[in-house]
Amino acid sequence: MTNLTSNRPVPRSGIMDIQAYVPGKSAAKSGTKVFKLSSNETPLGASPHAITAYQKAAEHLELYPDGSALALRTAIGTLHGIDPAQIVCGGGSDEILTMITNAYVGPGDEGIFTEHGFLVYKIAILAAGGHPVVAKEVGLTASVDAILAKVSPRTKIVFLANPNNPTGTYIPVEEVRRLHAGLPSHVILVLDAAYAEYARKNDYSSGIELVASAQNVVMTRTFSKIYGLAAVRLGWCYAPPHICDALNRIRGPFNVNTPASRAGVAALQDQAHIAEALSHNDHWLPWLTDRIAELGLKVTPSVANFVLVHFPQTGPHTAAKADSYLSEHGLIVRSVAAYGLPECLRITVGSAEANEKVVAVLTQFMKA
């Protein structure tokens, strides 16, 4: 039998074994008003100042961006009280996660993440030629002991989403410190804090203090969630100087475009808009949790801007049937079967109208 790939380029070993990341749905079956609650986007949108800055940048699209993203790094540093020289920016935190993996993981190396962690971790490890290692969670929450038990001489990187997507759970700062203390000094601990702004618990920390005191910790952040800039793809990391040096050697020379950078600076400076988004989430997250729980459905306690809802594995009220029913009524939510949670749906905290409709439609579904 003729080898159909013998006369064309073939990807290196392992690439075609990667399951491509599938984002949340963007369209519903219904022709009625649609609420997209599948991607954890803020219902308040971007800051008006960020939108104006983005539009203003369009006046000079012929010019290359500042390759160092200095204005953006300076604005980030000012807000968080950190050295801009220890910040690297990229096209969403996804690019930063991939860059870190490419810089420190090679063939035969291992990367660890938790069983319901962000799917990009596995993709990045495999793409770098590494071997993904999964640590069990306890109660849908990362377990420090389970992660440390998976560390081997081949481990090069550990990813911890804190808060985690899609569960919405977190581990307190002391547990993060215990995890770091248990890792060999050559292993990088990546703290993915995409939802850090939403986490309001007193024992939570995004990881800034740990990065400042360690040589093997990186914190990644995004503008896609509370800042409402998902469309422009903007993220950043705070890391020790030697890790920033490595990342700056492999990142694209103009990997952050000018409109995105300008919008990011303006968004950072409009903290009143962020306060409004937090106030909205502080009200509607517990409201949505309580109302859905009253329907007899388990909801995993969340510190982010979404809820993970559990449905029966069999019968008329499964997650798949609920997903279809919600879609028919103009509500787009996220199936998380790819995360090993086939009996669950992830639902973003939306506008007041969207949240109330979710509860109303789920009430109808559970009675059907």
d(CA 73, CA 264): 10
Query: Cα(134)–Cα(122) distance, rounded to whole angstroms?
Result: 9
Note the pLDDT of residue 10. Answer: 75
Q: Do 102 and 29 share a structural domain?
A: no
In the predicted model, residues of the chain with pLDDT beneath 50 are: 1
Amino acid identity for residue 271 in this structure: Q
Question: Which of 228, 246, 269 is at the close of a domain?
Answer: 269
Q: Residues 366, 295: contact at Cβ < 8 Å? A: yes
Q: What is the pLDDT of residue 1?
A: 45
Enclosing domain of residue 145: 48-269
Name the pairing type of β-strands 306-310 and 35-36.
unpaired
CATH number at residue 329: 3.90.1150.10
The single-letter code of the amino acid at 276 is E
- Alpha-carbon distance of 314 to 306, in angstroms, equals 24
One domain for residues 90 and 112: yes
The whole-angstrom separation of Cα 150 and Cα 74 is 38
Enter the tokens of residue 150: 């998976």
Q: What is the distance between the alpha carbons of residues 289 and 349, in angstroms, rounded to a whole number?
A: 10
Instruction: Dump pLDDT digits (tens) for 133-169.
Output: 999 999 999 999 999 999 999 999 999 999 999 999 9
Instruction: Give the angle subtended at the CA of 44 by the CAs of 42 and 50, to the nearest 5°.
Output: 95
- How many domains are there within the chain? 2
Three-state DSSP class for 123? Answer: helix
Query: Do 191 and 297 fall within a single domain?
Result: no
CATH number at residue 244: 3.40.640.10
**Same domain membership, residue 55 and residue 188:** yes
End-to-end CA distance of the chain: 54
Question: Do 166 and 23 have their domain in common?
Answer: no
Q: At what angle do helices 258-269 and 70-80 cross, to 10 degrees?
A: 20
Residue 94 is assigned to a structural domain of this protein:
yes
Using a cut of 0.75, tell me whether the model's pTM lies above it.
Answer: yes
Domain endpoint, select from 245, 269, 293: 269
pLDDT of residue 14: 78
Which residue in the block uniquely carries the two structure tokens 């547990």? 175
